[in-house]
């Protein structure tokens, strides 16, 4: 069986095929680069119609990464998918607290999910950061509450939780908020999608990678 086995060639060919799928979509060049990376990560061209951007999202996200803003994630799968070398070159650190004992304790005391508890504990530390949520709608609802009630404003919220309970609603609430966001309409999303969006931003700043 003949097949491609050079990683760079495979990626280049994939991106060329995806470009044909998205060439007529109404995205700017940076937005299109992000959408292409999402489609590449998912194998699903439908994302070209589902990814939604706040008008200032890309500019704010890139600026935050350039100044070394921390990246806060809801689950380890999101954290694992982010390119740590690319983030580290900009001075950005990646955080996930869902497995910490203190987070589990807070979740039990408050009767909330651990993902919610993690973001509640970070609190003011989320100011001017990148918040990246790929799994837990409850975490996104908590970030929205923190913004609404405590004025905490991340530089960018990548909010793409996946699922049938609360995911579409949380993402629609994000789109209706004043927070800069990149999200996906409907039930689709997930950790690979969240990580791919962050990696797209990192690669836009480091095209020589």
Task: Show the CA angle centred on residue 126, arms to residues 120 and 132, nearest 5°.
Answer: 90
Cα–Cα nearest to 127, from 150, 103, 161, 99: 150
Which tokens belong to 8? Answer: 């760079």
Region for 204 from its dihedrals, namely left if φ exceeds 0, alpha if ψ lies in -120 to 50, beta otherwise: alpha
* Distance separating alpha carbons of residues 51 and 196, to the nearest angstrom: 12
Q: Report the SS3 class of residue 1.
A: coil
Q: What are the start-end ranges of the H helices in 43-99? A: 47-50, 57-66, 76-81, 84-89
Whole-number Å distance between alpha carbons of 209 and 207: 5
Joined together, the tokens standing for residue 72 give 């806060």
Residues with a catalytic annotation lie at: 40
């Amino acid at each position: 069986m003949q097949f491609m086995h050079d990683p760079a060639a495979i990626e280049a060919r994939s991106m060329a095929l995806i470009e044909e799928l998205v060439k007529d979509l109404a995205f700017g060049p940076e937005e299109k680069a992000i959408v292409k990376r999402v489609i590449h990560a998912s194998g699903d061209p439908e994302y070209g119609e589902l990814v939604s951007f706040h008008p200032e999202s890309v500019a704010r996200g890139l600026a935050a990464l350039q100044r070394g803003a921390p990246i806060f994630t809801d689950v380890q799968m999101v954290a694992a998918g982010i390119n740590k070398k690319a983030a580290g070159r900009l001075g950005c650190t990646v955080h996930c607290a869902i497995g910490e004992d203190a987070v589990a304790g807070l979740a039990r005391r408050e009767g909330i999910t651990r993902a919610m508890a993690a973001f509640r504990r970070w609190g003011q530390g989320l100011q001017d950061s990148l918040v990246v949520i790929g799994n837990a709608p409850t975490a996104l609802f908590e970030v929205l509450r923190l913004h609404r009630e405590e004025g905490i404003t991340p530089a960018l919220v990548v909010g793409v939780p996946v699922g049938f309970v609360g995911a579409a609603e949380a993402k629609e609430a994000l789109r209706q908020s004043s927070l800069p966001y990149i999200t996906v309409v409907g039930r689709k999303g997930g950790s690979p999608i969240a990580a791919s969006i962050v990696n797209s931003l990192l690669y836009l700043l480091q095209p020589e990678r």
